[in-house]
Structure 1
Amino acid sequence: MDTSLPPADELVLVDRELARLDARRSQLLARRAWLIQALYRPVSAAAPRPYPRPPVADSTPRSAQNVLLTLGGTLLTIAAVAFTLVSWGSMGIGARSAVLFVVTSATLAAPVALLRRGLVSTAESVAALGLVLMVLDAYALHRVALPGTDGLGYTAVAAGVLAGAWAAYGSALSRLRIPLPVAVVAAQLPLPLGALAAGGGPTAVAWAALVTASADAAAALWTRPAAVRITAGAAATALGGWALLTGGWLSLVSPWSGAALLLAGAAVTLFVAWRVPAFAAAASAVAGLAALAAVGGLLRSALPADWAVPGYVLCALALASVWRLDASAGEGAGAAPGTGATATATSGGAAGTAAPEDVPGSGRPHGAEPGSAARAGGRLPHGVRLGLAGAGAGVAALGAVWALPPVVAGLLGPVGRTTGVWSGEHSERVLTSYPATAALVLLVAVAVLAAVPRLWARCGAVSLAWALLTALPVSLDLSYPATLSLQLLTTSAALVAAVRPGLLTRGLRPAEAAGHAAPAAPAAGPTGSESANATRGPAAPVAGPETPWAPWAPSPLRPAPAGVDARAAIGWSAYVGGLASAVSALGLALDVRGATFAALGVLLGLFTGAAVLGADARRVVSAVAAVLAATGLVIAVAAAGGFEDHWTALALLLVPAATAAVGSRAPRPVALAVEITGGSVGLLALGIAASRPAFLALALALGGVIAAATAVRPERRRFASWTAAVLFLLATWVRLAVSDVTTPEAYTLPVTVPALVVGFLRRRGDAEASSWTAYGPGLAATLLPSLVAVWTDPEWTRPLALGLAALAVTLLGARFRLQALLVLGGAALALVGLHELAPYVVQAVGALPRWLPPALAGLLLLGVGATYEQRLRDARRLRERLARMR
């Protein structure tokens, strides 16, 4: 082993070698167990089966003995209680004294003989009975000999005497486990009950409880039996907690009395935290809260009511700064980050080595680490610093939460309108009586978080800065113009920070500012490889953080979490606030017409700039917001000009036209979002124009023009072309309906002609395309409605025209072997012919004898049956010919 290394680095190497030896030993033990199983398995399998084993007992002798002893002790205790309460009065004074002395003395002396014989469990039961008898003796003594004494005072004295007696008895018979813990329980009563008996109030009782808890803490720290430590620790927690709660209540009603009690309790708790590192963080956090309640209560009594919470917050920040001040002291003493005592203690803990002070009988308290101060790299242990800083940060966070109601009022107040739009009236202010010092709390929180070089702190500072600007109009009761100007200014600042967050990342660690994990340089050591191994080995040193209010931050030797982009995180923190302020400012601007135009213009410019200069999803959202702002401007102009609804609808079509033009130049995600938003505005315009069908037709036609212009772009051609066709067709139908045109062909031919042209073009490009796909929809759009009209039309013009058109379609289908044309045209021609012949057939059938139609039908069936096979072959050939057509 190289002894020339510094102690910290040498300890790291030793711990690493020990860890390797432990791992190798575990492997060898596992291999040995497998070899034993492999060697002795055949022997056990070949051995003859033994005789049947006797049934296993349901309980062990030890458990049965414990049950019997417990039941026996319980029965004797019940008998003693019954004797004391029932039969005591029938005996004289001498008899009573004799019974008390004989029974109690015999019971307490019996465990001595039992322990000599090794009957420990029996001795425990008898000793427990003796302790109960002592309580009953004290009760009997009060009832007979001292009936006039005060009950609380006598109980306090009796509890103290019993605690001392039981402690002496348990110390003398150290093999008994019951007397000492019971003595600890009895010792909790003398001081609190004595304070009550002396007429003390809550303060005196709390002080008595605190003194008792301090004694319990000392017992938990410096006594050896585990049962005594556990009992004393639980009692100290209960009484100390009650004393601190009483002190907190007193700090509200009597600050000076509460402060003394809280500070004393904080000192005791902090001492326990210093001595027991396992509970250092929790205990020191309680101590920190107690100290804050004490000092903050004194400040609250001296300051005006509005300054109470700021006083607590300032105290909390001062307490939280203990983290940074102590770390700085440790660094100033010569401890480099990640090296020295910090790495020593941490690496030792990682390797699982046992400190000498943890060995029983070493003279040190259980769980105490005298070297914990060095482990923190400063004067305070790491856990103590962590708890104190956490208490301060928690109270400061509560103060920030207390300051948020003006933020909510400033943000949501303008949205919840109680006045009409452009009425010139403003909604009543809310939270006018809330302390204006809430803004000061937010300002202090922003300053503190901005000083912490951590990403989470910087995001919090940005969010709280936005909250501060939002709360100022409420806290300072600003006028309407000032409020609107400040909200627009807040929106501008937030959007600028969201687009250019680089300034806000200054001062962050390089790993966080770069947005990826980057481990710091390894600590100075013998070689670079050894240092690297030290950071990733089983005993790698973990240095404590170096910033206040951030004990959970990554250490210099531990890389920051990967995948966190500082710019994006800070940018989104500012952007969300900017969006919220924009909505609030717009809601407030609706009170006045000029303010509405000004706000919409400013928001349009801001969001347009954010869409041009921004990145990721913020750019898309900004583009959508800009479109919505432009829509609001159009509506505002129409409302200011007194436009009717249909003219407003036509004006709104300017928005989808503009988005179509912008979409042709914008990047793909932005273009898609902008065009979808513009299309939604177009649908709104159509809905507004629906009340005037003539203007609806015009709006549909203009929408078709916009869609047709968009279809020029290759990436939008398919969707935009179909949209344009649908809009044009709808415009034509609405226009025909407005002109009272009821002829179905006027509605179907505008569909049929373009559809047939498209089908023809498709067939030219793809000769294998089916005629049903190319021409079927177009032909059906006209033939089917016209056939329905033919059967209800008494005139001859439509049947003639439809018949000629169907004949032409049929002939074209036969000529070019197109199945759709042949089938649709032939079916339409047959139905038209049937429609024309139907009156004559009906007339002829009416003139013939009634027996003639059945006779003709029978002859037809006979003819078909006689030539069935030939007809079947003809039908099959016809089907095959049709199948060969396209």
Structure 2
Amino acid sequence: MACGPGDTPPMNNVPSPAEELVVLDRELARLDVRRSQLLARRAWLLSVLHTPVAAVPAWRRPATETAPRSAQHVLLTLGGVLLAVAAIAFTLVSWGHLGIGGRAAVLTVLTAGALAAPVALLRRRLASTAEAVASLGLLLTVLDAYAVHRVGLPEAGAVGYAAGASAVLAALWAAYGTAVGGLRVPVPAAVVAGQLPLSLWAVASDAGALTVCWALLATAGLDVAVALWARPGTGVRVVACVAACATGGWAVLAAVWFSAVDGGAGPAVLLLVAAGLAGFGAWRVAAGAESWSVAWAVVAGLVAVAGGGGLVREVVPQGWAVPGYLVAAVVVWAAAASGGVPRGVARGLTGASAGVQALAVAWALPQVAAVLGGVRPGVPWAVVAVPVTVAGVLVSPRSRPARCGALALAWTAGMSLPGALSLPYAATLVAHLLLSAGFLVLAVRPSSLTVRLPEARDAEGALGDVALGGALLGASVAAFGARATEAAAVAVLGVLAGLFAGGAVAGRGTRRTVMACAAVVAGTGFVGAVAAAVELPVHLTGVALLAVPVATAAVGAVLRRHPAAVPVESAGAAAGALGVGLASARPGVLALALALGGVVAAATAVRPERRPVAGYAATALFVAAAWVRLAASGVSSPEAYALPVAVPALAVGVLRRRRDPEASSWVAYGPGLASALVPSLFAAWGDTGWPRPLVLGLVALAVTLAGARLRLQAPLLLGGAVLALDGLHELAPYVVQAVGAVPRWLPPALAGLLLLAVGATYEQRMRDARRLRDTLGRMG
């Protein structure tokens, strides 16, 4: 018996597991062959069974490419078109061959038959055929009207007759469509024909373009009435809405053009009537489709602003046109916020008013910027009125964005007010400083801006940041305006430095940091202004500016790990860099400025939290000061420049190795040794004398011996490399002479012998190289 996967094989297992596995594999292979044979037989049997069925041709109905109703529509349309072409050709070409009676008989029979046939067709439920015949009948009535004008009333004016004929046809078609139920063409056709009578009558009467606009608007009003009267979902309502948009749109566009170019109350009144019509439509569709209500309300709001602004423009001075339109926009805003207005209508009116207010602000801002930049002498009162009005509107909504916008517009109005009042120069500066101070107070305590806001706590941050932006911009404008006189610059920059310093003391969070940095910037400007006032030279002004990093370093020492400490000291460092740049006009003064900067950095490095960065900066400044002083004194020896760097670097390396014995010698001594040896090496290679190479060789030898004695890689390798190169420099002239005296065949021969010797002792040389590598690796 075969054992299962978890059974213990019996002691007398015959056959063995290996033999039994071979047997199983053979049986499985036989089963696979048999399965393949059976599958092939099954496939042949299936093909035999299906061959007779496939051989018998089955009759199938050809696939149709068009639906019966579509084919019917095509045929009816083609038939109607052909009959219409025939009727037109008969009327235009063959009309003159018949007498009066014949003409009347033909017209009567054709028209009456075409209009009466749909009644019978509808009774037989042939609706599509009835529609086609009815359309032909409507076309025949148009031909009848044309024929009557050509024969019966040739003296009537074409435009006036067309106005009357279109009115009669519209009435007849509407009555016909209403009387004969089930026809969808006559009533929409009557709506289309009804677009012509009033406008054609206005054109025929030569009443003027404005009268034509009134006629179009009246037609649009009738279209709105028809759209409201018609049942929802019918073609009549769709046609009436499209017609109202077309005729009303043309009337509004023409009236806006007349109002903008010629002015007058007539176009403005027309626009107000059009706005009322659009608003009525928005109100009626508000319950069913809010999106359409919003769209109609936007149109109504914009047209109302155009009309109301046109009326206001007639009674205000010439430069107050934009504020006049803004007043109309505010009225629309108030109407939307008054309550009792459907939500869609309120949204549309608010959007229209907001768009107009934004355009008005965009009109005012460039003029305010031009005045603040000194391009224009003053600001018109109309420009000031725009931001004041919009700011007053934005105060009413209880939302954070609205309050932020109101605050920004209040700043714009306040900065432009001195120009509108034509204040003197000093008074303008004082006004700008007072405005900046006020916004700075709001930035420090923004809670006064969040009164009656539901999200007062969340809004304080945003409103405080807008307020702070206004204070910074106001300070920039005041500082820019104070550039005219030195006394004004000193006074303004001093006041700004004090204001921002006070704000930094009283403020909180990120705004405190920004105000502190602004105080540093203002203080830098104040020092520069004072230096200019006492007529200091440029290089001494640079030295004076170093008072700013001194002050900021002292403040940083007081603040220590406060978040504002690093930004304040960085701003002071930037002022110091500016001072160094100004001091570069005189090399001696530049060296003094660099040294003073190094003293400030070294004093800062004493503090634990600033030690690494400030220490590096102090070292760099002291070295730069020494180099500048040496260059100013005419010193050209590289050792004078290298040793002031190398000695402190080696001292720092010694301290580093004492504090951290595991530190690598390359990190501790590498920079100092390289600074001391490499410049002298380059100088020695270009020096024809013997003292420098001799001294350099002795120093390199001492460094190499010290590295070998102390088992340090950096001194050993650097000193050895410099010693070897220095010696090569000294031996180079003799090598050149020797090479010149040697025959040309000797160098290749010596090279070959060297290669043979190296090849012969290659293994020993590899052991020596590995031993040297291990020795260097054990060094520090």
What is the TM-score normalised by the length of structure 1?
Answer: 0.75
Equivalence for 1:456: 401
Q: Alignment partner for residue 656 of structure 1, among 528, 549, 561?
A: 549
Conservation of the 8 A alpha-carbon contact between 2:378 and 2:422: no
SS in structure 2 opposite 1:665?
helix
CA–CA separation in structure 1 for the residues paired with 2:739 and 2:403:
97
Equivalence for 2:239: 231
CA–CA separation in structure 1 for the residues paired with 2:681 and 2:323:
86
Equivalence for 2:248: 240
Q: Alignment partner for residue 228 of structure 2, among 221, 233, 242?
A: 221
For 2:440, give the aligned amino acid.
Answer: L
Conservation of the 8 A alpha-carbon contact between 2:337 and 2:346: no
Return closer, same or farther for 1:780/1:441 CA change in 2, 3 Å cut-off.
Answer: closer
Equivalence for 1:179: 186
For 1:301, give the aligned amino acid.
Answer: E
CA–CA separation in structure 2 for the residues paired with 1:861 and 1:678:
66
Superposed displacement of residue 439, structure 1: 3.2
1:272 maps to 2:281:
yes
- Output one character per residue of 1:84-114: Cα deviation in whole Å (capped at 9) or x when no partner: 3333344443433333223323322332333
- Output one character per residue of 1:540-569: Cα deviation in whole Å (capped at 9) or x when no partner: xxxxxxxxxxxxxxxxxxxxxxxxxx2122
Equivalence for 1:471: 416
CA–CA separation in structure 2 for the residues paired with 1:756 and 1:690:
30
Q: Which moved more, 1:668-677 or 1:863-872?
A: 863-872
For 2:434, give the aligned amino acid.
Answer: L
Conservation of the 8 A alpha-carbon contact between 1:411 and 1:581: no
Conservation of the 8 A alpha-carbon contact between 2:371 and 2:377: no
Equivalence for 2:426: 481
Q: Alignment partner for residue 742 of structure 1, among 618, 627, 636?
A: 636
SS in structure 2 opposite 1:409?
helix
For 1:479, give the aligned amino acid.
Answer: P
Return closer, same or farther for 1:112/1:880 CA change in 2, 3 Å cut-off.
Answer: same
Equivalence for 1:501: 446
Conservation of the 8 A alpha-carbon contact between 2:378 and 2:420: no
Larger Rg: 2
CA–CA separation in structure 1 for the residues paired with 2:371 and 2:59:
85
Equivalence for 2:47: none
Which residues in structure 2 correspond to 1:728-877 (within 5 Å)?
728-843=622-737, 863-877=757-771
Q: Which moved more, 1:292-301 or 1:452-461?
A: 292-301
Which residues in structure 2 correspond to 1:484-563 (within 5 Å)?
484-506=429-451, 508-509=452-453, 511-515=454-458
Return closer, same or farther for 1:223/1:695 CA change in 2, 3 Å cut-off.
Answer: same
- Output one character per residue of 1:707-760: Cα deviation in whole Å (capped at 9) or x when no partner: 111212222222111111111112222222222222222222222222222223
For 2:547, give the aligned amino acid.
Answer: L
Q: Alignment partner for residue 377 of structure 2, among 392, 407, 429?
A: 429
Superposed displacement of residue 189, structure 1: 1.2
SS in structure 2 opposite 1:200?
coil
Superposed displacement of residue 171, structure 1: 1.7
Superposed displacement of residue 158, structure 1: 1.0
SS in structure 1 opposite 2:662?
coil
1:120 maps to 2:127:
yes
SS in structure 2 opposite 1:65?
helix
Equivalence for 1:542: none
SS in structure 2 opposite 1:183?
helix
CA–CA separation in structure 1 for the residues paired with 2:395 and 2:770:
89
CA–CA separation in structure 2 for the residues paired with 1:162 and 1:111:
18
Conservation of the 8 A alpha-carbon contact between 2:265 and 2:314: no
CA–CA separation in structure 2 for the residues paired with 1:634 and 1:228:
80
Equivalence for 2:37: none
Return closer, same or farther for 1:869/1:227 CA change in 2, 3 Å cut-off.
Answer: closer
Conservation of the 8 A alpha-carbon contact between 1:115 and 1:123: yes
In angstroms, what is the RMSD of aligned CA positions? Answer: 3.1
Equivalence for 1:525: none
Superposed displacement of residue 184, structure 1: 0.7
Conservation of the 8 A alpha-carbon contact between 2:704 and 2:720: yes
Return closer, same or farther for 1:841/1:594 CA change in 2, 3 Å cut-off.
Answer: closer
Q: Alignment partner for residue 412 of structure 1, among 362, 365, 373?
A: 373
Return closer, same or farther for 1:855/1:216 CA change in 2, 3 Å cut-off.
Answer: closer
Return closer, same or farther for 1:718/1:82 CA change in 2, 3 Å cut-off.
Answer: farther
For 1:134, give the aligned amino acid.
Answer: T
- Quick check: which one's helix share is greater? 2
- Output one character per residue of 1:309-333: Cα deviation in whole Å (capped at 9) or x when no partner: 55554454445334555x4xxxxxx
Equivalence for 1:561: none
User: Structure 1, unaligned stretches of length 5 or more?
Assistant: 1-47, 328-377, 417-427, 516-565
1:167 maps to 2:144:
no
For 2:439, give the aligned amino acid.
Answer: A
User: Structure 2, unaligned stretches of length 5 or more?
Assistant: 1-49
Conservation of the 8 A alpha-carbon contact between 2:539 and 2:589: yes
Superposed displacement of residue 286, structure 1: 4.4
Superposed displacement of residue 574, structure 1: 2.1
Task: Give % identity.
Answer: 57
Q: Alignment partner for residue 534 of structure 2, among 641, 658, 668?
A: 641
Which residues in structure 2 correspond to 1:343-422 (within 5 Å)?
378=340, 380-388=341-349, 395=356, 399=360, 401-404=362-365, 406-413=367-374
CA–CA separation in structure 1 for the residues paired with 2:481 and 2:654:
59
CA–CA separation in structure 2 for the residues paired with 1:274 and 1:287:
11
Conservation of the 8 A alpha-carbon contact between 1:410 and 1:473: no
Conservation of the 8 A alpha-carbon contact between 1:447 and 1:461: yes
Equivalence for 2:38: none
For 1:180, give the aligned amino acid.
Answer: V
Which residues in structure 2 correspond to 1:37-116 (within 5 Å)?
56-116=63-123
SS in structure 1 opposite 2:314?
helix
CA–CA separation in structure 2 for the residues paired with 1:251 and 1:857:
104
Return closer, same or farther for 1:134/1:861 CA change in 2, 3 Å cut-off.
Answer: closer
CA–CA separation in structure 1 for the residues paired with 2:59 and 2:446:
82
- Output one character per residue of 1:160-189: Cα deviation in whole Å (capped at 9) or x when no partner: 121122112212332221111011111111
What is the TM-score normalised by the length of structure 2?
Answer: 0.84
Q: Which moved more, 1:450-459 or 1:490-499?
A: 450-459
Equivalence for 1:573: 466
Return closer, same or farther for 1:250/1:836 CA change in 2, 3 Å cut-off.
Answer: closer
Return closer, same or farther for 1:861/1:54 CA change in 2, 3 Å cut-off.
Answer: same
SS in structure 1 opposite 2:377?
coil
Conservation of the 8 A alpha-carbon contact between 1:705 and 1:724: yes
SS in structure 2 opposite 1:58?
coil
Superposed displacement of residue 576, structure 1: 2.0
- Output one character per residue of 1:843-883: Cα deviation in whole Å (capped at 9) or x when no partner: 55666777776666666555555544433433332233223
Equivalence for 1:148: 155
Q: Which moved more, 1:268-277 or 1:634-643?
A: 268-277
Larger RCO (alpha carbons 8 Å, 6+ apart): 1
Return closer, same or farther for 1:256/1:684 CA change in 2, 3 Å cut-off.
Answer: closer
Return closer, same or farther for 1:646/1:316 CA change in 2, 3 Å cut-off.
Answer: closer
1:695 maps to 2:704:
no
SS in structure 2 opposite 1:664?
helix
Number of equivalent positions:
719
Conservation of the 8 A alpha-carbon contact between 1:159 and 1:187: yes
Superposed displacement of residue 495, structure 1: 1.3
Equivalence for 1:200: 207
Q: Which moved more, 1:699-708 or 1:770-779?
A: 770-779
Return closer, same or farther for 1:64/1:766 CA change in 2, 3 Å cut-off.
Answer: farther
Equivalence for 1:15: none
Conservation of the 8 A alpha-carbon contact between 1:255 and 1:294: no
- Output one character per residue of 1:38-72: Cα deviation in whole Å (capped at 9) or x when no partner: xxxxxxxxxx9998986753332222322232233
